[in-house]
Amino acid sequence: MRAYAKLREKPDMPWSLDEISQFLDQQGIRPSFQRLKIFEYLVNERTHPTADEIYEVLRKDIPSISRTTVYNTLRLFLDKKIIQMVNIEKNEARYDATLSWHGHFKCLKCGQVYDIEIEELKLGGLAGYQVLEKHLDLKGLCPSCCQGK
């Protein structure tokens, strides 16, 4: 996984459309308007949205956009390995433009998905296995939802 965000001058600033366009080009993805906007949403919001959430948000800007385009584009981004899929919840694929190794926490009350920092992970008995993907998914109550529980 490439932590491409770190190559940027100001990693925490929102990506401009120009920057996204260049980036997609570099990755061999033709930067159509729909693709730009979908990547923009993922990389600048970082809320781990579902395909349908992306569709509903982008519909305001691009009334003609179709669900299929969103799904197609997300699959393209996955194939090109510039985003990852988050399967913390059954029957609800989410998408994440952060590729560096981190975990996810889903609040069972408010439904929000948070990034979790993994300081150390030691696994046993993996000799002979070739690990290509790692996912750490937590569920529970987030700080705001714990309040006065």
Partner DNA sequence: TCTCATATTTGTAATCGTTATAATATTAAA
Partner DNA sequence: TTTAATATTATAACGATTACAAATATGAGA
Q: Which residues make up the interface to DNA (CB under 7 A)? A: 29-30, 32-35, 50-52, 62, 64-69, 71-73, 75, 90-93
Q: Which is nearer to DNA, 15 or 39 (CB)?
A: 39
Burial 110-144 (b: 16+ CB within 10 A, else e): eeebeeeeeeeeeeeeeeeeeeeeeeeeeeeebee
Nearest approach, Cβ of residue 103 and a copy of itself (Å)? 7
Residue 68 binds which entry of DNA, a copy of itself, none, with Cβ cut-offs from 5 to 8 Å by kind? DNA
Q: How far apart are the first and last CA of the chain?
A: 39
The reply on whether position 120 binds a copy of itself by CB under 8 A is yes
Nearer to a copy of itself, 19 or 53 (CB): 53
Among 28, 79, 121, 148, binds a copy of itself (CB under 8 A): 121
Tokens representing residue 59 in the block? 């519909």
Task: Tell me if 78 sits within 8 A of 133, measured CB to CB.
Answer: no
Strands 92-96 and 103-107: unpaired
- CA distance linking residue 49 with residue 61, whole number of Å: 17
Residue 128 as a binder of a copy of itself (CB under 8 A): the answer is yes
Smallest distance, Å, CB 64 to DNA? 4
Binding interface with a copy of itself (CB under 8 A) = 85, 87-91, 93, 103, 105, 108, 114, 116-143, 146, 149
